[in-house]
A and B are shown apart, each in its own frame.
Chain A
Amino acid sequence: MEEKNQHLETLTEIRSLMEKSSRFISLSGLSGICAGIFALIGAYAASVYLAIDPVLGDYSAYDGTSYSSPNVRSVSDFYTFFFTDAFLVLFFALAFGSYFTIRKAKKNNQSIWGATSKRLLANLMIPLATGGIFCLILLNHGLIDLIAPCTLIFYGLSLLNASKYTLNDIRYLGISEIVLGLIASYYTGYGLLFWGVGFGLLHIVYGSVMYFKYEK
């Protein structure tokens, strides 16, 4: 019996080493929740700017070229607002996200800038950067309606790719984002709503699931 326990312990240890050395397991669920909250704030700010109701608003007034909102004074004004809004969301999501993940890495005794985290970032960034550039090209062609769905689809694909190098739950988040992105690209004009669900709600849901699963 004693010997059996010892072997069991060995097997458990091997499993944990295999996991720890190949995957970045310190991604915190709280990082996801934070990203979701900031995304919702950003999406809400955009809906106020465009003067449309965030959930049930009449999106027909927003057709990508003409805006009925009194806040939108010019096209350049529109771009300035959206770039500032997006930048602030990204900045706060990354800042708070990094904080919780660094904190969890310390607890796990996993280095924040090691082979696993570098591999995770590289695999996340390649599809994500492709998506970012593609969205700028869409903007250049004036296909504004497709930008929000495209960010969702490419973000989903990035997560799917990165999931091999971190907690497996990320895979399902990725698939959800892709599905949502495809629906959003069919029902164009509801970009902001889908964007809020994808980057806000889904992050909060998956972040909470991961938090209660691994950190509680």
Chain B
Amino acid sequence: MKSYIENINKAFESRIRLGIMSILMVNDWVDFATVKEMLDITDGNLASHITALEKLEYVEVRKQFVGKKPNTTYAATSAGKKSFVDHLNALESIIKKTT
């Protein structure tokens, strides 16, 4: 039982972080506005959660200019993808255990 809990990743405990990772798992590079629209949250809220994931090196950030507008896009790193999958598997095991 203990091994399952070990894989529950604290970094993904918030719904917003789970949301960010879900989107980045299935897309290559996604811009700030798209993530924001998908999750329906404020700029500040999203920025702080993304920064947290970036610090853990789960998310990679790329800043570019489209014309004169700055455009920031995000992608999940391979470490981020792996941790996220482990986290999901752990959640699934817990569900199966309790049935």
Query: In the complex, which residue of chain A has the Cβ closest to the Cβ of B23?
Result: A21
Interface flags, A1-42, vs B, CB<8A=1, else 0: 101100110110110011011100000000000000000000
How long is the Cα–Cα vector from A21 to B76 in the complex, in angstroms?
14
B38 touches A14 (CB 8 A): no
Q: Is B66 an interface residue (CB 8 A)?
A: no
Q: Is A70 an interface residue (CB 8 A)?
A: no
Interface flags, B67-87, vs A, CB<8A=1, else 0: 000000000000000000000
- Give min CB distance, A20 to chain B, whole Å: 7
B37 touches A14 (CB 8 A): no
Q: Is B1 an interface residue (CB 8 A)?
A: no
How many residues of B sit at the interface, in one of the four size bands?
20 to 34
B23 touches A4 (CB 8 A): no
A-B CB pair tally, cutoff 8 Å = 53
A115 touches B23 (CB 8 A): no
B22 touches A18 (CB 8 A): yes
- Give min CB distance, B19 to chain A, whole Å: 6
Name the one of B26, B31, B92, B95 contacting A22, with C-beta atoms under 8 angstroms. B26
Query: In the complex, which residue of chain A has the Cβ closest to the Cβ of B13?
Result: A10
B interface list, Cβ under 8 A from A: 15, 18-19, 22-23, 25-27, 30-31, 34, 37-40, 88, 91-92, 94-95, 98-99
A interface list, Cβ under 8 A from B: 1, 3-4, 7-8, 10-11, 13-14, 17-18, 20-22, 109, 111, 114-115
Q: Provide a sorted-by-A list of 25 A–B residue pairs whose CB atoms are within 8 angstroms.
A: A3-B94, A4-B94, A4-B98, A7-B91, A7-B94, A7-B95, A10-B18, A10-B91, A13-B18, A13-B22, A14-B22, A17-B23, A17-B39, A18-B22, A18-B23, A18-B25, A18-B26, A20-B38, A21-B22, A21-B27, A21-B30, A21-B34, A21-B38, A115-B27, A115-B34
